[in-house]
Structure 1
């Protein structure tokens, strides 16, 4: 039981902490304290004050006594519009938890750290029930104890922040305050596996007249397995993960009206997922060797993930204008090692030559990397006498991105005994990247923006934003946004917004190339994912990828009739045109023009990325909070609800694929887009405190999901329907001393699991996919938080 670090934290609303810091240090007068979604300096803010919907999550309680040990799962059970479900049997997607807002893809949500763009991961999700064909941001690369608040902007914001902000924006504010604290925790599933160890420490120290916050975290999460003897030697459950993370967040005065700031973070992750099992009889000699695994085996897909992040900048006041110049750098690298495996073609060649019929059992399968450098200049000023009060902001951004794929060792991909003969090529579980997959690609983008927020009357606020961007690989785009709020009565605020948005195709979607093994009805099939511009996409007439375009509308109100009660309600609609999706599988039977090419590659099917779908997402967000006294203690009650429905409104096939729309977007792939996440999600929470004791109960309701099957309804197999489910989390905390807090509790304490399905038809070949809230069942935890 080795120690590890972890945590998560915050202060109720970022502005209160900033004002306290301002009072303590006159240099703080140049600090711009903003809520994501506006560039105006605010003296107070809450979710009922903002022009567009913004949730403000204070992370201190989750840090000290929460039952989740990483950021993605913490937000999963706090924010109804946020969805992140751990995948299983999804290759690389098992290693990094993707996250998304409002039922859209993970690459349609922009993530900021301290208001600066966070890089995405190098991985493209190819399997699993969530975010297929999408990249995203790894929320778990940030240590929880380093986080002060999380702001979730539930509105399109591409005109303010640029590409990816179609569904909304998540801003993670890191803390930098004096004092030290530490957290240790342990958890495991009620089944006895998935042991999770955590140790984390934060220290904020005064340095050079400023403040430096340092956070270190170690986490060791063990593997879980729900397969049992019926699915052996398969392993179906959580990936094994070991994280080592270090983050620094600092601010230092340069003069009486200027300061420098920086963030430096690094995480190294060793993760191991388990691929489909190979049989001990029927898979010999194609995918197994009797000399190596006579009883069958399950390959391990081991990922070495390195994530780096750096922000360097300065803020000052020049001629009355607040000026912020910054440089951000981020990188994410993943390298695969496939263990407990073999190359069946090498083993069979060895057998034919008179040997035992063996190959190496571990291969370096190569990997990929993504790097992003962003330069920002932001200028802002509030004019109190202009039209009742106006905030004018403008700025520029320049960004450079690089993406690369590196081939694995030859044994991970070669077909040693000849194409279509004997053993199959490459390492079983995940064939290595080939030299033909290798790529080094880059692009540049530049942007100019302007934002004007005005309060012509004490009741009315208007905001307008305009942004123009140019990308080196697909051209120009311009987006705009109009938003307004009106105080119709004391405590009642009406608000609405309309905007256009866009998302540039990621370099990962443009250039990812790989040959992999998929299992259809539990039968193996080799598939090539062809990059844009390859022989396969040219033969299919697939044009160059271009940006997705969106139109967003939000209309709602906030109501705060008293200091103890507040509620918000917002309706929204998001239309996306030319959405980039991963196509269905093409082969020589459903598209003969590709037959010869596929045969030459030794694969059975091909798929690719294409701008082929129009979608409409409609939904509702509701929040309510009430504070009251009960007996000698205090009771806080909160409710948050998201209803969301995504519908494919059109399939736009390239000219050469007209008539093949059912292959381009099969029923199964359409349902992954429309119902990759639950259509309803609600959290009802109760927090009671009295003296040194406190308790927490949360009921989390997940709506239904319907996913497709391999056979499909046309073949007589009904879709997989997952019934609505409700999970319950409970915990009790004891403030043992003013510095020490002890907590015990459970997650999903009633051991609720998804609806059972036909395991021959699910994406992961198990009784149910990892949908709604995962498949592991109940878990229990204990943690200690200490301030010193």
Structure 2
């Protein structure tokens, strides 16, 4: 770019992927992965000013147009008054489409000072915008005048971070000392914007949106039952849901690494952060490595950490239709700062706090390498989404029958083991074989449920507990086998998934409120997904230095999770989103080229 060098790289990606449909025996269900059309553009650049100073910038824009199916609605004749008979005489499956835009840009300068310190000053901005459009749906309370497509509104999140970092390496202290410190200032902004009135409105018999329930009556069907409002599949955000909230935080850190000798290293770091909405945190880390010989090293660490509640967890709110005790009911996901949340005894969200330890070893000799690390992660005040509360003394005036909240609900402990083994060797004059075994063992336990005076089964029952535990499966192993010779290569990956146990929707259909009721549900409401093996295969050929072609298949043998009764699974398919997912075999051909 100039006499001192520099570069600018552009990367673009076009993506078009149709929905996958795995509805089981019900032809109308749209269960499967969402369709996506997207365009991504990224830029990465650097401009040296001189041999001491460099200006850099990177960023881009990602756009995705997604198309997913909601739960199916039966016809009115089959007893489902969510379907307008004149629009959908046989019932319908709403589609939740969305336009998702991500924009980011980062600009900074790096400078090597005369005293040996390196400086990096940077500003990074990013924003995500999520806009929902509901199609092939209706607002049942509008009856025959209902539209079938709705602008449901959406939400956005932006962050701007300014930071300055200093680092220096002192080779004359012991066997080398690295020092680093810095300061960071961040602003965040989260908002919800409303959709069109028909997407969220509840209408009376005259087709007028209900603003005064005391004098207006909800539209009813021919059986005299009230008709639900809002677009089916995903109700729109109303002006009452709209929020625009911001916060700031700053952090200061210091990091050092000392090579006491060629064989022994110790490192430490501390970080202080202040958040405008919940206060201060102070965290640190100690780590060490001992090299016993040229091949074998021991290592370990101990640290504390935190995760601040996101602005979405603090302020997201929505009225929607949920299944409670086997019935579709108007429900509320209540913002953390609302009077409703406080009335149920849910406290203000605070940060999750973690205490972590690990110990392990590394080994490398010839073509063989191994790393094994055991770890323990304790997380207190973990943020969860509660189950459904139904106290009508609080919820009745809001015209909803159930409510959920984000809360610092559980304390967990996870013990685990990470294993990475590799062995590379040559075959003949030009052949190379690379093998790698990557494995993980996990044991996640819920130490306590922080339900206070609230009923534990209503606050965070077995159904939700099972999903939390399933996020850390007992084990997962992957064996990668690769062979290359001249311009040809082949790669095979075998992935072994552990058994996963979930609790199905019977817990929501017939909620347990006592241990005796829970004990009766466990034998009939437990879904077991058996351990499974998935095989991926890829063949590649290097046409030239700039053109490469590959052909392959993921999940070559079309393996699926263990089928369950789709009337009780959480997502309405023959299996929930566990293990390898429900898409089955994916065959691909790729042509990569560089200019």
- The verdict on a shared fold, with TM-score over 0.5 as the criterion, is yes
In the TM superposition, 1:719-730 aligns within 5 A as 719-730=526-537
Residues of 2 paired with 1:732 and 1:661: CA distance? 53
Partner of 1:185: none
Partner deviation per Cα, 1:309-362 (whole Å, 9 max, x = no partner): 110100001221000000010110101011111110011xxxxxxxxx231111
- Alignment of 1:412 onto 2:199: yes
Partner of 1:492: 296
Residues of 1 paired with 2:16 and 2:154: CA distance? 23
Residues of 1 paired with 2:591 and 2:80: CA distance? 53
Partner of 1:651: 449
Where 1:584 maps in the other structure, the secondary structure is coil
Partner of 1:605: 402
- Alignment of 1:744 onto 2:551: yes
CA 1:635 to 1:693, structure 2 compared with 1: closer, same or farther past 3 Å? same
Of the candidates 294, 298, 304, which is equivalent to residue 89 of structure 2? 294
Partner of 2:515: none
Of the candidates 191, 206, 210, which is equivalent to residue 6 of structure 2? 210
Residues of 1 paired with 2:487 and 2:397: CA distance? 71
Equivalent pair of 2:331/2:403 in contact (CA under 8 Å): yes
Residues of 2 paired with 1:737 and 1:531: CA distance? 57
Partner of 1:692: 487
Partner of 1:280: 75
Partner of 1:434: 238
Residues of 2 paired with 1:675 and 1:718: CA distance? 16
- Alignment of 1:714 onto 2:519: yes
Partner of 1:69: none
In the TM superposition, 1:464-613 aligns within 5 A as 464-519=268-323, 523-562=327-366, 564-587=367-390, 594-613=391-410
Equivalent pair of 1:580/1:612 in contact (CA under 8 Å): yes
Matched length: 564
Residues of 1 paired with 2:344 and 2:283: CA distance? 32
Residues of 2 paired with 1:208 and 1:491: CA distance? 41
Shift of 1:739: 3.4
Partner deviation per Cα, 1:685-708 (whole Å, 9 max, x = no partner): 111112222111110111111111
Partner deviation per Cα, 1:629-648 (whole Å, 9 max, x = no partner): 23452111111001112111
Residues of 2 paired with 1:711 and 1:371: CA distance? 39
Equivalent pair of 2:203/2:219 in contact (CA under 8 Å): no
Where 1:320 maps in the other structure, the secondary structure is coil
Q: List alignment gaps of at least 5 residues for structure 1.
A: 1-204, 348-356, 588-593
Of the candidates 248, 260, 268, which is equivalent to residue 456 of structure 1? 260
Equivalent pair of 1:291/1:358 in contact (CA under 8 Å): no
Of the candidates 668, 684, 699, which is equivalent to residue 463 of structure 2? 668
Larger RCO: 1 or 2 (CA < 8 Å, sep 6+): 1
Partner of 1:25: none
Residues of 2 paired with 1:681 and 1:496: CA distance? 23
Partner of 1:330: 126
CA 1:294 to 1:420, structure 2 compared with 1: closer, same or farther past 3 Å? closer
- Calculate the TM-score normalised by the size of structure 2: 0.92
Where 2:37 maps in the other structure, the secondary structure is strand
Shift of 1:282: 4.9
Residues of 1 paired with 2:533 and 2:444: CA distance? 22
Where 2:292 maps in the other structure, the secondary structure is strand
Residues of 2 paired with 1:558 and 1:780: CA distance? 37
Shift of 1:519: 4.0
Partner of 1:219: 15
What is the root-mean-square deviation of aligned Cα atoms in Å? 1.7
Shift of 1:507: 0.4
Q: List alignment gaps of at least 5 residues for structure 2.
A: 205-216, 221-225, 508-517
Equivalent pair of 1:206/1:212 in contact (CA under 8 Å): no
Shift of 1:208: 7.7
Where 2:240 maps in the other structure, the secondary structure is helix
Residues of 2 paired with 1:460 and 1:282: CA distance? 76
Equivalent pair of 2:492/2:535 in contact (CA under 8 Å): yes
Partner of 2:209: none
Residues of 2 paired with 1:218 and 1:446: CA distance? 37
Of the candidates 134, 137, 140, which is equivalent to residue 344 of structure 1? 140
Point out the structure with the larger strand share: 2
Shift of 1:226: 1.0
Of the candidates 147, 157, 166, which is equivalent to residue 370 of structure 1? 157
Partner deviation per Cα, 1:190-210 (whole Å, 9 max, x = no partner): xxxxxxxxxxxxxxx889831
Shift of 1:419: 4.3
Equivalent pair of 2:60/2:103 in contact (CA under 8 Å): yes
Of the candidates 582, 586, 594, which is equivalent to residue 775 of structure 1? 582
- Calculate the TM-score normalised by the size of structure 1: 0.70
Partner of 2:512: none
Shift of 1:479: 0.2
Shift of 1:673: 1.1
Residues of 2 paired with 1:616 and 1:524: CA distance? 36
Equivalent pair of 1:579/1:612 in contact (CA under 8 Å): yes
